[in-house]
Structure 1
Amino acid sequence: MPSAMKIAIIDDERDMRQSISQWLALSGYDTEAFASAEEALKVLGPDYPGIVVTDIKMPGMDGMQFLKKLMGTDSSLPVIMITGHGDVPMAVEAMRLGAFDFLEKPFNPDRMTQLAKKAANARRMTLDARALRRELSDGGQLMKKLIGHSPAMERLKEDILDLGQADNHVLIEGETGTGKTLVAHALHAVGARAGRKFVLLACKAFDEDALIARLFGPSDNAATQLPAVEEARGGTLVLEDVEALSEATQARLLSFIDAEGTPPETRIIAISNIQEQNRTCEDVLRPDLFFRLASLRITVPPLRQRGEDILTLFARFCEQFAEDYGCEAPQVSAQEAAQLLQAPWPGNVRQLVNMAERAVLQARRGSGTITSLMMSDHQEMQPVMTTEGKPLKEYVEAFERMLIDNTMRRHKGSIAAVMEELCLPRRTLNEKMAKYGLQRSDYL
């Protein structure tokens, strides 16, 4: 159980709260005890990083009043109620008001631990979802997720910042695995609609009737969920795999767009995933709909066009997986760096993520190399030169940048440690960091 997950214990009986606290602490939780509900409310805010265990019968504010206060502050906060014999009806009422569960005295400590674990897992999922929503509404954080400083990525970031401020609909094109959905999130987050609804609809996930019902509402008005065009009203509606829309659905969508007028109340971001050669989204959609959706266009660059970004991304992904698996990230040799840069990456960033995870798992076992991983993949992933080969100088510079970046990360921005490991004088290190756009503050 991660130490960050807290359990607040509220009971006016000192012995009871101490025994509960000790037992849960032995089970690996970070506990804090309060003698009254009033005292606990000073600490329990809407994003409290844990759960609550409280007695029902207490002087002053009792458990039921306390529960109502907590539910008014954060309705997702798991609250386990402790009740005396004969108070089960009151506990059932507490469940109706939003309590997570209840324990009847005298209770089995193991049952307490089981409930605490279940509640803590639910709380962690809630907090993670909230953090993700905040991140996806923060334009600055999303732009940081668009990692890389290659000319292709710099152009993409500029396009996102420019088009994000516009009102018209946007068509995002690019190969599978390039991050088109992330770009859609970023377009929404940096624009005027950032605080409004963002509704994502995967068109290929529905058959025609279900898709029309999800987009525009069922004919019998029996749905409990708002249709997507209403749910997203005033915000952004993202249509993934827009090329999957049937003629009938295209006609309905066109009518909706025309009814909204100019500028549209709801912005549509269409994502096209057509991979066939000599075939585009324009070939599939009816012309009047295509030209409305493609009023503004963004093409997300394939990984093979992003140069040294490949090494930067690979290093970041390896670090993340190494942290997840509790091991060291594999070191990339000069030969392996060149092979990563030369590979065509048909699966783009998604494929690079998979390669990084496999490299970390392989390094944890102490066997294999990145080269062997690439050679064991499909023929198209063998590290042969692409048609976009680069001069040797560019490969050397990309490897040098990756080496300095990795070392700075490992030493958390300690210039002295990096100088010692790489055998570089301070002036030379400073010059190379300036050359490659590396800032010490990013590693602290």
Structure 2
Amino acid sequence: MAQAMKIAIVDDEQDMRQSISQWLALSGYDTETFASAEDALKVMGPDYPGIVISDIKMPGMDGMQFLKKLMGSDSGLPVIMITGHGDVPMAVEAMRVGAFDFLEKPFNPDRMSELAKRATGARRLTLDNRALRRELSDGSQIMKKLIGMSPVMDRLREDILDLGQADGHVLIDGETGTGKTLVAHALHAVGSRAGKKFVLISCAALEEDALSKRLFGPMQPEDSLLPALEEARGGTLVLEGIEALSETLQAKLLSAINEQGMPGETRIIAISNLQEAGKTSEDALRSDLFYRLAALRITVPPLRQRGEDILTLFTRLCEQFAEEYGCEAPQVSAQEAAQLLQAPWPGNVRQLINVAERAVLQSRRGSGTIASLLMSDHEEMQPVMTTEGKPLKEYVEAFERMLIDNTMRRHKGSIASVMEELCLPRRTLNEKMAKYGLQRSDYLA
């Protein structure tokens, strides 16, 4: 769920503090007021969950000094400055220091609400990005995102842990939508470079000249970034869509690898997104570059090879979207579970995410079925799918595991509640949980 944003109002005039606070509270914001900059600084850390509205002219520490302190602590904190009439030069200076915007007295309350909306939106995005970066640098957390108990996922996690500790460059390939970029993050997070820079470049997103400058330089004087090879020095450089590199850029990359003494200095993780039938990354890259980048290799398995992981992923995704949209997650029938398991999933996990979101939305409306969503994605699929492709026993077991998993999750590990809902004796439930690798401790609130 999105984090609630606060608005800190800093002004030495009590009437002004109260009027701003009352107006913003009526607009639905959570406000807190401070009579001085010194008081505000006592409670505002670098990840303050909100924005600041501050007067410029205050006794003691004035607004400009306050702004500089805040920017020194957290340059991503939006600060809206209130200036007196005719203080345009001071407002310009505040913007140069890092203020989000300014309001000139007497100001329009609607203008203040508009600025607050834009500033809180920007702050939420900044904090979400920081949380994501922290999560992606935490090896234990990111490995938990690689959900599944299938043999191919066990092997993938083992490969990540093994290759994460190595120094060689890595080539990641696999079908579109399988999660190759997540695997690249995991490789970085579990290795010795976890605390170092992680730079990701989409090779297909830039024209050749722009891509050359972004990778190798020279950068323009107004650019705030270093060339990617310099920016990632000592850390990890991920080249997504490596096959998009022209012959010229492939030659420059090979030369840079040879000259800079990698991989000891910087590790390159190349991601291949080739989708043409029968074509591989070896076909798309010059052989000397391919063998340098593919010193170590990981192939991410397609969703259709992951068996009952499909049901686990689908139910988790439905729970997440149901929470986001404020409704109940749809219940999956045995027939729908079989259809999910048999779908070809050409778009892999990315496609599964889309189907899960649409399933929650149509369930909220009280119409539609999961089968209809699968049919719309795969017109060639037949509406009735039971034992085609696998023994019926496998579908029954997959559905049973999903049912127990969902019920345990819903009741937060309460064995008594699960026994009552599923009409199972304690011994039978224990045996089935052991059979499917389900641990009560994983569900406790």
TM-score by length of 2: 0.93
- Identify if the C-alpha distance between structure 1 residues 26 and 246 changes in structure 2 by more than 3 Å, giving closer, same or farther: same
Offset at residue 154 of structure 1 (A): 0.7
Match of 2:102 in 1: 102
- Conservation of the 8 A alpha-carbon contact between 1:257 and 1:264: no
CA distance in 2, matches of 1:178, 1:383: 26
Q: Could you tell me which amino acid in structure 1 is paired with residue 283 of structure 2?
A: D
Match of 1:411 in 2: 411
Tell me whether 1:333 sits opposite 2:339 in the alignment.
Answer: no
Tell me whether 1:164 sits opposite 2:161 in the alignment.
Answer: no
Q: Equivalent pairs: percent with the same residue? A: 83
Match of 1:203 in 2: 203
- Conservation of the 8 A alpha-carbon contact between 1:344 and 1:380: no
Q: Could you tell me which amino acid in structure 2 is paired with residue 283 of structure 1?
A: D
Match of 1:290 in 2: 290
Match of 2:392 in 1: 392
Question: 1:80 is paired with a residue of what secondary structure?
Answer: strand
Q: Could you tell me which amino acid in structure 1 is paired with residue 437 of structure 2?
A: G
CA distance in 1, matches of 2:286, 2:360: 47
- Conservation of the 8 A alpha-carbon contact between 1:374 and 1:382: no
- Identify if the C-alpha distance between structure 1 residues 198 and 383 changes in structure 2 by more than 3 Å, giving closer, same or farther: farther
Match of 2:20 in 1: 20
Specify every segment of 5 or more residues in structure 1 that has no aligned partner in the other structure, as ranges.
none
- Identify if the C-alpha distance between structure 1 residues 385 and 285 changes in structure 2 by more than 3 Å, giving closer, same or farther: farther
- Conservation of the 8 A alpha-carbon contact between 1:169 and 1:296: yes
Match of 2:130 in 1: 130
Offset at residue 295 of structure 1 (A): 0.7
CA distance in 2, matches of 1:46, 1:239: 32
Question: 2:43 is paired with a residue of what secondary structure?
Answer: coil
Match of 2:352 in 1: 352
Q: How does 1:4-153 map to 2 (within 5 A)?
A: 4-153=4-153
Match of 2:435 in 1: 435
Comparing 154-163 with 125-134, which one deviates more in the overlay? 125-134
Question: 1:42 is paired with a residue of what secondary structure?
Answer: helix
Offset at residue 223 of structure 1 (A): 7.3
Offset at residue 279 of structure 1 (A): 2.8
Match of 2:369 in 1: 369
CA distance in 2, matches of 1:90, 1:127: 29
Match of 2:249 in 1: 249
Per-residue deviation, residues 259-302 of structure 1 (Å, max 9, x unmatched) = 23364311111111223343322223222211111111111111
Offset at residue 424 of structure 1 (A): 2.2
Match of 2:300 in 1: 300
Offset at residue 244 of structure 1 (A): 2.4
CA distance in 1, matches of 2:135, 2:340: 30
CA distance in 1, matches of 2:36, 2:428: 62
- Conservation of the 8 A alpha-carbon contact between 1:340 and 1:383: no
Offset at residue 193 of structure 1 (A): 1.0
Offset at residue 384 of structure 1 (A): 8.1
CA distance in 2, matches of 1:252, 1:147: 38
Offset at residue 393 of structure 1 (A): 2.2
CA distance in 1, matches of 2:427, 2:60: 67
- Identify if the C-alpha distance between structure 1 residues 262 and 421 changes in structure 2 by more than 3 Å, giving closer, same or farther: same
- Identify if the C-alpha distance between structure 1 residues 89 and 210 changes in structure 2 by more than 3 Å, giving closer, same or farther: closer
Question: 1:389 is paired with a residue of what secondary structure?
Answer: coil
Per-residue deviation, residues 205-229 of structure 1 (Å, max 9, x unmatched) = 23433332322224x9667242221
Per-residue deviation, residues 395-431 of structure 1 (Å, max 9, x unmatched) = 1121111112212222333333322221223343333
Offset at residue 29 of structure 1 (A): 0.9
Offset at residue 160 of structure 1 (A): 0.3
Offset at residue 134 of structure 1 (A): 1.2
Comparing 150-159 with 404-413, which one deviates more in the overlay? 404-413
- Conservation of the 8 A alpha-carbon contact between 2:318 and 2:357: yes
Offset at residue 176 of structure 1 (A): 1.1
CA distance in 2, matches of 1:221, 1:67: 30
- Identify if the C-alpha distance between structure 1 residues 245 and 338 changes in structure 2 by more than 3 Å, giving closer, same or farther: same
- Conservation of the 8 A alpha-carbon contact between 2:199 and 2:238: yes
- Identify if the C-alpha distance between structure 1 residues 27 and 190 changes in structure 2 by more than 3 Å, giving closer, same or farther: same
Comparing 118-127 with 383-392, which one deviates more in the overlay? 383-392
Per-residue deviation, residues 297-332 of structure 1 (Å, max 9, x unmatched) = 111111111011000111111112222222221110
Tell me the number of residue pairs that the alignment of Structure 1 and Structure 2 aligns.
443
- Identify if the C-alpha distance between structure 1 residues 328 and 221 changes in structure 2 by more than 3 Å, giving closer, same or farther: closer
Offset at residue 147 of structure 1 (A): 0.9
Structural RMSD (CA)? 2.4
Offset at residue 195 of structure 1 (A): 1.4
- Conservation of the 8 A alpha-carbon contact between 1:56 and 1:81: yes
Q: Could you tell me which amino acid in structure 1 is paired with residue 371 of structure 2?
A: T
